[in-house]
Structure 1
Amino acid sequence: GGLAPRGGGRGGGGWGGEKKRGGGGVHRECVSQVDWVYWDRFNDFMCVTCSTDGKVVLWKANEDGFWPIVSYSVTANDSARVGMSLAHRSVLDQRKLIGTTCMSFERVAADGLAQRGGFYLGSEAGGVLKCYIQFTSVFDKVRGVGGEEAFRSEKVAEKEDEPPSLPSPITFSYQPHGGPVHAVAASPLQHNLFVSCGADGTLRLHNSYQSSPIHSYEPSSSYLYSASFSPTRPLVFAAGGGGGGAV
């Protein structure tokens, strides 16, 4: 559950490859994915992690390591059940944390930065979820521990194992896969398109505004472990399978 920064600078530049202070004590299980999101209010980047423990944590990074700003508990809410049939709602139990296996942020095509606040999560139970970071709420939490001055210092969170918590980030849900979701990938060119794939061997193209996939592909008889969009062609995407091939 730890998060350890590494630097690759040369000649003493950057973090110099030295292991700095990590972010421990927040996630209780393995961190399944790490990403970066741009926060224009502070003209800075935050690190975002998701984990099989059902938490999404936002971190501030500096040369001394990672400091947790806020955490989200990924639990089912009314928004998570929008568009789901009764048969699929059992995937989302409102009383339990949803272990997340993968994450992808919506990107802004002009500069490739994740700054809209919208992102997608895949879960161990097969759920595919649309989520949103409420930057106003995040700023309120940051302001509560010292505001912008604190955000730019290492004291944004006095207790590393107790970051302020926010409500579930889920705003919508999609038809679940028949097994764990191994990858979700947002299109870098069309903000409403994303793909998902998983242990059921299906690769699905989604419109973020509708619960059912636009199209479902079964390119392989094995599990699918990764997926990605082309950075230049809007409707070209690929997936990696358990047999070692790409489709």
Structure 2
Amino acid sequence: MFQDNESDLSVFWDSNWKTSTVKNYASTQTSEILTNEAETQSHHLQDFACQCAIQKEAAVVHVDEKEVPGLCEFLQRVEPKITACLKENLTSHAFDGYEVLWEDQCDSAHCIYTLTDPGTDGLQCTDVSWSSSGAMLVASYGRHDHENWCTHKGLVCMWNLSSGKLTADKADSAVDVDNCVMCVACYPSEAGVIAGGTFSGEVKVWHFAGNSKWVVVSSSAEVNAHKEPVTSIRWLSSSQPVADNNQLVSLASDGCVILWKIDLQAKKVEIVRQFTLHVPGKRVLTDITGSYGGTCLTFPYQDNNTFVAGCETGSLFKCSLHVSGEKTLTQSPVTFSFQPHNGPVYDVQCSPYHRNLFLSCGTNSTCQLYSLIESQPLLSLTPSYGYLFSASWSPSRPCVFAVGSQQGYVLVYDLAENMVNPVIKLASDNKKLAAVYCVKFNRSRPHILASGDEHGIVRVWHVSSKLALQQTNELEVVNTIAEP
């Protein structure tokens, strides 16, 4: 039936189920968009001028040619030249970046006050602090060389440097304490309120109420307060006047960090939160076994949540007052660890010009610059003057800071000029230099620096204008150092 056929005939079968496809074409478009144009304008404006009073004729200077011969001729001759110079100055950039110095230049640093008090005999100056106005200097007195229980009487002295009645060998006001005062801090926005920490672990707040009356608030009634010497105390930054909800943070050598609420009206303190310094994840017993003994703490500029703590072991921790987790006495505030010092850390200070930069110093005779986001130090300085006990940033120069040394020198660094050696060394005139335990720049008067030593002597220094006045592009130097 099926075979090859060479015939040209073709056979087709039409489908009995498939029909032809019918196609239709159509088109459409949207309706025409109608637009209208219109113009309008605001109310008609009219300029006018007025003055409060008719200008008095006396305001015009009349020159009597007979009294000053040749003056009018001179003014007419030089006026076109002066006018031309003034017009040229309007477009000149010759004085861009120039800052007028309203104070007299001072090229050297020198001691302007040497302050003592009869009640400080046998005591060491453990800390200094400036009032919010910069006029009052507060110093705490105790001893760092305890071998057993403290049997000394502590003292807090105050000198008003602006009173005009300053007595160098007697404090303007003094408060006796039943044991050594290890640290002190003035309220950041109001004079007359001072916080201090004692060797027995007490946190005290003195409020000057007038008529030479001091109101004392103490933490002695708190069961869970510090059991070891308070090594550092800081008010949480505030621009508000003293109120009933002031807060401060204290750190002690028992490794305990406490956030306090101060009620000056009720004369009481209350624990808000409490932490123990230790590395998270490690077991810590209720007797704080395994914790780190705290020596110092500092808060970054305008940050009341994050702080840096230094320890007796040389450890440096970045901490937070609002860590998550169960609130217990052994809760750790540590969120980050930095490369430690080879020995106890005595002081840490955050830069007032860079949010991540902070300074540390300790018994390894090294001053180190860190960033809050880097574990390794950015810069290490070894001045070779023994232990470094204290540090303070200049409030006006981002590159300037001072450190107190064991050999009795206050070393002032200027990183914009020298990143290795201090630019000046401040020392007393005594043949036997005393270890400088504390240094502090005056925030309101940046050319003023205070220091306290192991002989109980407080010195007020006036640094050179070069170290007090900010230089051009100085912030760029700091940002370059702090870059990760």
TM-score, length-scaled by structure 2: 0.38
User: Does the 8 A contact of 2:323 with 2:333 survive in 1?
Assistant: no
Using a 3 Å threshold, how does the CA distance of structure 1 residues 220 and 44 change in structure 2: closer, same or farther?
farther
Q: State the distance in 2 between where 1:8 and 1:122 align.
A: 32
1:19 aligns with 2:216: yes
Q: How do 1:55-74 and structure 2 match up within 5 A?
A: 55-63=256-264, 64-74=267-277
Please state how far the C-alpha of 1:30 moved relative to its aligned partner: 0.5
Please state how far the C-alpha of 1:39 moved relative to its aligned partner: 8.1
Please state how far the C-alpha of 1:233 moved relative to its aligned partner: 1.7
Letter of the structure 2 residue corresponding to residue 55 of structure 1: C
Using a 3 Å threshold, how does the CA distance of structure 1 residues 98 and 206 change in structure 2: closer, same or farther?
same
SS at match of 2:217: coil
**1:96-128: per-residue Cα shift (whole Å, max 9, x none)?**
1111000001112xxxxx42x111000000001
User: Does the 8 A contact of 1:199 with 1:224 survive in 2?
Assistant: yes
Equivalent residue, structure 2, for 1:118: 306
SS at match of 2:209: coil
Q: State the distance in 2 between where 1:235 and 1:132 align.
A: 27
**1:27-76: per-residue Cα shift (whole Å, max 9, x none)?**
11001011111589x99531110011011001110121321111011111
Q: State the distance in 1 between where 2:356 and 2:369 align.
A: 11
Equivalent residue, structure 1, for 2:230: 31
Letter of the structure 2 residue corresponding to residue 2 of structure 1: E
User: Does the 8 A contact of 1:183 with 1:198 survive in 2?
Assistant: yes
Equivalent residue, structure 2, for 1:51: 252
User: Could you say what the CA RMSD is over the residues aligned between the two structures, in angstroms?
Assistant: 2.8
Equivalent residue, structure 2, for 1:216: 380
Shift >4 Å, 4+ stretches: none
Q: State the distance in 1 between where 2:254 and 2:372 align.
A: 25
Letter of the structure 2 residue corresponding to residue 98 of structure 1: Y
Q: State the distance in 2 between where 1:184 and 1:239 align.
A: 11
Equivalent residue, structure 1, for 2:206: 6
Q: State the distance in 2 between where 1:96 and 1:166 align.
A: 10
Equivalent residue, structure 2, for 1:77: 280
1:105 aligns with 2:308: no
User: What are the ranges of 5 or more consecutive residues in structure 1 without an aligned counterpart?
Assistant: 81-93, 109-113, 142-163
User: Does the 8 A contact of 1:34 with 1:47 survive in 2?
Assistant: yes
Instruction: Give identity over the alignment, percent.
Output: 32
Q: State the distance in 1 between where 2:211 and 2:382 align.
A: 49
User: Does the 8 A contact of 1:5 with 1:22 survive in 2?
Assistant: no
User: Does the 8 A contact of 1:39 with 1:46 survive in 2?
Assistant: no
**1:154-213: per-residue Cα shift (whole Å, max 9, x none)?**
xxxxxxxxxx64721111111111110000000111110000000110000111111111
User: What are the ranges of 5 or more consecutive residues in structure 2 without an aligned counterpart?
Assistant: 1-200, 283-287, 412-484
**1:220-244: per-residue Cα shift (whole Å, max 9, x none)?**
3310000111112222211110111
Letter of the structure 2 residue corresponding to residue 11 of structure 1: N
User: Does the 8 A contact of 2:231 with 2:296 survive in 1?
Assistant: yes
User: Does the 8 A contact of 1:126 with 1:179 survive in 2?
Assistant: yes
Deviates more, 1:164-173 or 1:95-104: 164-173
Q: State the distance in 1 between where 2:355 and 2:319 align.
A: 14
User: Does the 8 A contact of 1:5 with 1:66 survive in 2?
Assistant: no
Q: State the distance in 2 between where 1:62 and 1:44 align.
A: 6
1:131 aligns with 2:319: yes
Using a 3 Å threshold, how does the CA distance of structure 1 residues 100 and 37 change in structure 2: closer, same or farther?
same
Please state how far the C-alpha of 1:9 moved relative to its aligned partner: 3.0
Q: How many residues align?
A: 199
Indicate the structure whose relative CO is greater, using CA pairs within 8 Å and at least 6 residues apart.
1
Q: State the distance in 1 between where 2:238 and 2:385 align.
A: 41
Q: State the distance in 2 between where 1:18 and 1:95 align.
A: 37
Larger radius of gyration: 2
Q: State the distance in 1 between where 2:314 and 2:337 align.
A: 11
Q: State the distance in 2 between where 1:43 and 1:190 align.
A: 31
